[in-house]
């Protein structure tokens, strides 16, 4: 079970890095006019991801594991996993919650960087 949760953490962080980078690049392409504005968006996006990491891991453990295990147990009869369905459900739940919270915090940080960077433009 610990291996599944560790893989879920790693997968959620990796998914958030990939999706967060796409969000930041799209925001830079659409909104940034100057180099300083671009740097502001990227810096704040990274800061948002770093700040959101601890809450994502904690909420992934509490909410994701709880909901994932309940979902895994409810689908145990229809999936050929038997008793390990709850463990697989925990992994998927932790992965989903970590990825969603981290992507949201990166997007929020990039948006804040966009707002702050626009204030310094003429």
Q: Could you state, in order of their start, the residue ranges of all structural domains in the chain? A: 2-119
> Which of 48-57, 70-79, 92-101, 105-114 shows the lowest per-residue confidence on average (mean pLDDT)?
70-79
- Reported as a single tens digit per residue, the pLDDT across 14-30 is 999 999 999 999 998 98
pLDDT score of 121 more than 60: no
Name the residue with higher pLDDT: 84 or 25: 25
- Residue-wise DSSP of 41-92: HHHHHHHHHHHHHHHHHHHIIIIIHHHHHHHHHHTTTTSTTGGGHHHHHHHH
| Rg of the chain in Å (alpha carbons) | 18
């Amino acid at each position: 079970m610990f291996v599944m949760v560790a893989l879920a953490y790693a997968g959620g962080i990796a998914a958030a890095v990939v999706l967060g980078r796409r969000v930041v690049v799209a925001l830079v392409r659409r909104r940034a006019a100057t180099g300083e504005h671009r740097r502001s968006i990227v810096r704040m996006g990274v800061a948002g991801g770093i700040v959101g990491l601890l809450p994502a891991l904690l909420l992934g453990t509490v909410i994701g594991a709880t909901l994932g295990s309940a979902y895994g147990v409810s689908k145990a009869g229809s999936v050929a996993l038997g008793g390990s369905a709850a463990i697989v459900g925990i992994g998927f739940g932790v992965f989903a919650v970590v990825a969603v919270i981290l992507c949201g915090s990166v997007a929020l940080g990039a948006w804040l960087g966009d707002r702050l960077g626009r204030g310094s433009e003429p």
